[in-house]
């Protein structure tokens, strides 16, 4: 239950004071809205930040809070599996709460010579798939077709079959010359994904795919139906180099980046499944049901921004109008990251209004350094600054992903700290998605208690941060990405573990989809 004695954010006074007119921007009259200004049309808009981080007073207060907490055994170096005296000075919901340390279960994190978690930003030198139609722009496709001895307009016909009809079957391409059809398709559509396994929830509204790439690497995608839309969670890498201790995908490190076409092919194959009736969950109230994938989330296997060039190219294929691409809305595509700051800033300059999501999971560096190893390269405040910069440049509200893990990052004081840091940069620019984990008895990677979850959400909402608990999917089919691929690797070497035999190392994988 929420602590009734804690202070709540006071109601802000109504904005009734007059606003000065003039050629320059007109500042909002309400002091609480100092971060806002009036544009010439009279509407409020968010100012650019006057500083990169919080001001000196806030920074000093946070530093004093941190020192006090460390004296009481909270924060600082986390020795052992659990700190001995966590939150001793805390009152209200944090009283007598333990502080659990992030720790891989069932596997060992790769480390550097000095004992730090190993980070892999570049893929190993490995073979790449053959060039596919989806790797090319329309102009490049035309040149490729001409090089094969055919007129350039055949490229548009091929693009229509793939991006509109979602097929690469030569038998269905009756508008192509029969004598050249097989050769043309073989050159433009080399095999990319082979379906290894498909799992479907009992009600049929969620389907998880395990794909084998041309070189034997395994990746996953998850297809989900919601009222009026269909979302596909796609992978962008085989494996992952970010080495997070909770993630099944990162257990074996980074195998390689996926190609642009391999990423896009996940969408095309999902559309084929929908057309075949393979996705259930259809509405019974007469409402609209989407007939193809409408939303994409880059929250599958891999760190999308570590494969920046190919991910951006795949996004362009998704949003390019048909038949050059899939003709999707950029606003319905979400790109997530654990916090690769230079790539976030680069994404803000791309001119593609995708939704951006930052997987934060902890507002304090003491915990985030171990929970998200890339935090040793770019700290939490730097990642939040980059997220805010994305909002300033694109006008697109940012999502903060925050997996609630019992006694690890779900303390009420962390909700307060998160709200303080987000509000220090302005209001109206961010939305927080707390993510519930699957209950996993005996594991440190388990779900928060319901009252703790509600307290965390309430504190953020009371501080003026829009917060919505994520509706996760696919728990009964190991919906969090990386689990099927881990099993597939075990099957390949003959060491597969039965699904219910305590797969703590893989079942902890955080599910970011939605």
Give the CATH number, domain containing residue 155. 1.10.150.530
pLDDT at 87 over 90: no
Distance from C-alpha of 301 to C-alpha of 238, rounded to nearest angstrom: 7
- Residue 339 sits in a domain whose CATH number is 3.20.20.70
Pair (152, 296) in one structural domain: no
Distance CA(173)–CA(190), nearest Å, equals: 16
146 plus 280 within the same structural domain: no
**Locus of tokens 């009036």:** 38
Q: What share of the chain is helix, strand, coil (3-state, %, to 5)?
A: 35, 15, 50
In a domain, 492, yes or no: yes
Residue reference for tokens 């904005």: 15
pLDDT at 78 over 80: no
Give yes or no: residues 333 and 218 share one domain.
yes
Which residue, 305, 387, 1, 310, is CA-closest to 128? 310
Annotated active-site residue 220? The verdict is: yes
Inform me whether the pLDDT recorded for 391 exceeds 60. Answer: yes
- The tokens describing 143, both together, are 């040149």
374 domain residue, yes or no: yes
Segment 86-103 mean pLDDT: 73
Residue 489 pLDDT level (bands cut at 50, 70, 90): low
In a domain, 27, yes or no: no
Residue 100 is inside which H or E element, if any?
Answer: none
Do residues 401 and 357 make contact, with C-beta atoms less than 8 angstroms apart? yes
- Residues 388-416 have a mean pLDDT of 97
Mark whether 212 and 172 lie in a shared domain. no
**What is the pLDDT of the chain when averaged over all its residues?**
83
Give the separation between CA 248 and CA 271, rounded to whole angstroms: 27
For 285, residues 6+ apart whose C-beta sits below 8 A from its C-beta are: none
**Statement to judge: residues 477 and 330 lie in one domain:** yes
For 166-218, what is each residue's pLDDT tens digit? Answer: 999 999 999 999 999 999 999 999 999 999 999 999 899 999 999 999 999 99
Q: Which of 220, 262, 401, 455 is catalytic?
A: 220
So what's the pLDDT on residue 79? 35
State whether 149 and 206 are in the same domain.
no
Q: What is the pLDDT of residue 42?
A: 52
Residues 205 and 148 occupy one common structural domain: no
Instruction: Provide the token pair at 365.
Output: 């560096």
Of 171, 188, 205, the residue at which a domain comes to its end is: 188
Answer yes or no: do 206 and 244 share one domain. Answer: yes
In a domain, 52, yes or no: no
446 located within any domain: yes
Distance CA 106, CA 489 (A): 15
Residue of 262, 324, 481, 487 with catalytic role: 481
**C-alpha torsion sign, points 476, 482, 485, 487:** negative
In a domain, 440, yes or no: yes
Which tokens is 286 given? 């007469």
Residue 431 lies in a domain: yes
What was the pLDDT predicted at 288? 86
Q: Is pLDDT larger for residue 430 or for residue 5?
A: 430
Q: Which domain holds residue 200?
A: 194-507
481 is known as an active-site residue: yes
pLDDT of 22 higher than 70: no
pLDDT at 272: 97
Got the DSSP string for 11-39?
PPPP--S----SSS-EE-SSGGGTTEEE-
Question: Model confidence at 18, in pLDDT bands (50, 70, 90)?
Answer: very low
Pick the last residue of a domain from 167, 188, 209.
Answer: 188
Q: From CA 126, how far away is CA 466, in angstroms rounded?
A: 44
Co-location of 201 and 300 in the same domain: yes
Domain limit, last residue, from 168, 188, 208: 188
My answer on whether 290 and 262 are in the same domain is yes
Q: Are 154 and 178 contained in the same domain?
A: yes
Number of domains forming the structure of the chain: 3
Gyration radius (Cα) of the chain, Å = 25
Domain presence at residue 22: no
What local confidence, expressed as pLDDT, does residue 287 receive? 85
Residues 151 and 287 in one domain: no
């Amino acid at each position: 239950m929420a602590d009734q004695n804690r202070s709540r954010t006071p109601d802000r006074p109504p904005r009734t004071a007059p606003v000065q007119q003039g050629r320059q921007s007109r500042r909002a009259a309400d002091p609480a809205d100092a971060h806002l200004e009036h544009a010439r049309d009279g509407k409020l808009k968010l100012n650019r930040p006057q500083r990169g981080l919080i001001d000196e007073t806030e920074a000093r207060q946070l530093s004093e809070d941190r020192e006090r907490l460390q004296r009481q055994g909270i924060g600082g170096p986390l020795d052992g599996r659990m700190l001995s005296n966590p939150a001793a000075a805390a009152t209200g919901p944090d009283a007598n709460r333990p502080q659990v340390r992030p720790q891989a279960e069932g596997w060992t994190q790769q480390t550097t010579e000095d004992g730090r978690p190993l980070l892999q930003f570049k893929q190993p030198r490995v073979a790449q798939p053959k060039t596919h139609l989806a790797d090319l722009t329309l102009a490049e496709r035309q040149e490729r077709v001409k090089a094969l001895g055919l007129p350039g307009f055949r490229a548009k016909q091929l693009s229509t079959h793939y991006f509109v009809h979602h097929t690469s079957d030569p038998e269905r391409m009756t508008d192509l010359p029969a004598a050249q059809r097989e050769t043309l398709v073989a050159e433009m559509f080399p095999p990319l994904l082979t379906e290894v396994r498909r799992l479907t929830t009992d009600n049929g509204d969620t389907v998880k795919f395990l794909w084998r790439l041309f070189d034997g690497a395994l990746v996953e995608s998850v297809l989900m139906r919601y009222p009026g839309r269909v979302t596909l969670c796609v992978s962008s890498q085989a494996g992952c180099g970010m080495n997070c201790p909770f993630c099944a995908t990162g257990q074996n490190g980074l195998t390689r980046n996926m190609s642009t076409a391999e990423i896009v092919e996940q969408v095309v194959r999902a559309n084929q499944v929908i057309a075949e009736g393979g996705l259930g969950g259809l509405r019974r109230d007469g409402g609209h049901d989407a007939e193809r994938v409408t939303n994409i989330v880059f929250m599958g296997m891999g760190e999308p921004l570590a494969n920046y060039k190919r991910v951006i190219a795949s996004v362009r294929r998704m949003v390019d109008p048909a038949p050059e691409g899939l003709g999707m809305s950029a606003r319905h595509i979400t790109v997530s990251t654990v916090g690769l700051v230079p790539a976030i800033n680069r994404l803000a300059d791309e001119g593609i209004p995708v939704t951006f999501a930052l997987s934060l999971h902890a507002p304090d560096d003491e915990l985030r350094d171990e929970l998200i190893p890339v935090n040793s390269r770019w700290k939490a405040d730097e990642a939040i600054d980059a997220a805010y910069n994305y909002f300033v440049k694109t006008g697109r509200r940012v999502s903060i992903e925050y997996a609630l893990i019992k006694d690890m990052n779900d303390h009420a004081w962390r909700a307060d700290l998160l709200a303080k840091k987000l509000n220090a940069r302005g209001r109206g620019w961010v939305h927080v998605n707390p993510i519930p984990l699957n209950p996993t008895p005996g594991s440190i990677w388990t779900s928060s208690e319901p009252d703790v979850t509600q307290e965390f959400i309430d504190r953020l909402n009371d501080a003026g941060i829009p917060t919505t608990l994520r509706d996760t999917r696919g728990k009964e089919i190991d919906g969090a990405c990386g689990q099927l691929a881990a099993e597939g690797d075990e099957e390949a070497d003959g060491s597969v573990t039965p699904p219910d035999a305590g797969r703590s190392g893989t079942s902890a994988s955080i599910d970011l989809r939605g």
